[in-house]
Amino acid sequence: MLLEVAATPTAGNVDRERDLPDLRFEQFLAGASGARAGLEEIERGGPIGQGFETAVAGMADAAGTNTQFGSLLLLAPLVRAVAKRPEESSEQLGPDAASAVVAETTVEDAAAFYRAFEHVEVRVDEPPADLEPLDVRRGADAIPAVRDREATLASILEAASGHDGIAREWTEGFERTFDAADRLASREGPLVDRATRVHLDLLAEEPDTLVATEHGEATAAEISDRAASIDPSDGDAVRSLSSDLIERGINPGTTADILAGGLFVTLVREGGKP
Amino acid sequence: MLLEVAATPTAGNVDRERDLPDLRFEQFLAGASGARAGLEEIERGGPIGQGFETAVAGMADAAGTNTQFGSLLLLAPLVRAVAKRPEESSEQLGPDAASAVVAETTVEDAAAFYRAFEHVEVRVDEPPADLEPLDVRRGADAIPAVRDREATLASILEAASGHDGIAREWTEGFERTFDAADRLASREGPLVDRATRVHLDLLAEEPDTLVATEHGEATAAEISDRAASIDPSDGDAVRSLSSDLIERGINPGTTADILAGGLFVTLVREGGKP
């Protein structure tokens, strides 16, 4: 998460060159630091939902706002997948290990996931009518319905995967996350510079679902098309897109979350150094 | 430590706007993250020297180089002082509590301090002849001499306090660190912006001892005078000084370490949010 916010320029997102009007760079540093205890709970084998809630609460407490909810939701199963590997294993962290963690999630993990929404404001789509009792904006009030329907965290996220890019990662084997990691590995140079390039690739490939939620699918598609039209080695073009997005209040936050997941996988595979 | 590197511009140091030729911004993020386990050992009541060594080893492992040795040496007693306060205490973290930690250091803390030098390259002055057996550049090889002379960590740092700004903090009640914290508290605005201003104040007030070690006392005094001549609200003037320092390979690292200490005290006093 620290490397993600250090990657610069990342169009429309907070980076070394830019703060957003209501979100400063150092709040992301604080959020990453505050989330650590929760991720360590997951690493030690604690319930993934509870660890996620602890991470979100710690992030919100340190940052004073919601900085990295989506990144944490993506990292939670990846952290567990790494921790579960046999110590001697030379096996790489991959989709099978991550999906196995998803498959093991429980109703209690789902309940903790709903509690996590009590700590922060998260922008989400309106749910369809039959899922209204499970609307995440209900926070802990939705937990009786979660228990009633015996909904696991995996099933909750599967229901959201049509319109939320992180839920889609949980449901579809973390395809974009591992793809981002493969691209990061295939490039040369400092990891944050590789990350800047991969951020633009990701944005060009698929419309950002946070942008779609906040500004509509047409806007999300437009931003993705513009990202695709830019020469990624042209820093000024990326900065110009970034300025335009920030002026319009458009923040491709889901794309940044997926990059954070890809960076985590890369750090695990490459041995932890930036 | 994260907030210190985020404070921008800080003349001659790595910040959001600048990397040094051989030291990148994200290495400081990694160093701060990697040092955490050692500081947590100290927080939990483990021996301060051992915790410091763990922090330095974790920093060096994550950053791949020495990013924040001086900051960690300054933070170690402050972290312990905070952890020792009675839970109900409304007492502020202050010089007395920090100096009490220094007074309690042992010969074993000194031995661990020497082991810490095995993990990194630290630029230090030549010791006087009678202290040659205690030259930190000997690393663990100096430990028999440390034991032989029954030298505590406090006494080792007292001997270095004439030419090392962090050792002087240990010896003189962390005067500049708490002074930096008071100044940070007296200003308005985001903490990192206040920190930028205080960094220049600190540099103007006393020549940086790392600069003196690397480039001589005359150069250190010249840099301090130049910092004093700048209007701190003139970001361009600070940037121009910064460019000049970086071009000459001059890095006021001790001043940055003292700022990191002041930021830690401020976070403790203000409740942990940036």
What average pLDDT does the segment A54-83 reach?
Answer: 97
Q: Which residues of chain B make contact with A33, given a CB cutoff of 8 A?
A: 2, 33
User: Model's pTM, two decimal places?
Assistant: 0.95
Q: Which residues of chain B make contact with A189, given a CB cutoff of 8 A?
A: none
The closest of A32, A13, A100 to B274, measured between CA atoms, is: A32
Nearest chain B residue to A29 by CA distance is: B2
For residue B88, pLDDT over 80 is answered with no
Task: Indicate the residue of A2, A17, A24 with minimum beta-carbon distance to B33.
Answer: A2
Task: Indicate the residue of A6, A30, A273 with minimum beta-carbon distance to B274.
Answer: A30
Asked if B190 and A61 come within 8 Å (Cβ–Cβ), the reply is no
Q: Do A49 and A143 contact (CB within 8 A), yes or no? A: no
Rounded-to-integer distance, Cα B260 and Cα B169, Å: 13
Asked if A62 and B17 come within 8 Å (Cβ–Cβ), the reply is no
Q: How close does chain B come to A186, measured CA to CA in Å?
A: 20
Query: Does the CB of B24 have a partner CB in chain A at under 8 Å?
Result: yes
Average pLDDT score over chain A: 94
| Token output for A99 | 């999906």
B2-270 is classed in which CATH architecture?
A: Orthogonal Bundle (1.10)
Rounded-to-integer distance, Cα B119 and Cα B122, Å: 9
Q: How close does chain A come to B267, measured CA to CA in Å?
A: 10
Rg (CA), chain A: 18
Residue A87's pLDDT is what? 64
With cut-offs at 50, 70 and 90, classify the pLDDT of residue A122. Answer: confident
Note the ipTM here. Answer: 0.94
Positive/negative CA dihedral, B83, B85, B88, B93:
negative
Nearest chain A residue to B59 by CA distance is: A273
Residue A167's pLDDT is what? 97
Query: Does the CB of A16 have a partner CB in chain B at under 8 Å?
Result: yes
**How do residues A135-156 score in pLDDT, each as one tens digit?**
999 999 999 999 999 999 999 9
Residue B21's pLDDT is what? 86
Q: Which residues of chain A make contact with B16, given a CB cutoff of 8 A?
A: 16-17, 25
Residue B128's pLDDT is what? 84
What average pLDDT does the segment A24-42 reach?
Answer: 98
Task: Indicate the residue of A36, A272, A274 with minimum beta-carbon distance to B26.
Answer: A274
For residue A192, pLDDT over 60 is answered with yes
Range of lowest pLDDT (A19-33, A34-48, A119-133, A193-207): A119-133
For residue B6, pLDDT over 80 is answered with yes
Report the half-sphere exposure of B274 (CA within 13 A, side-chain side).
Answer: 28
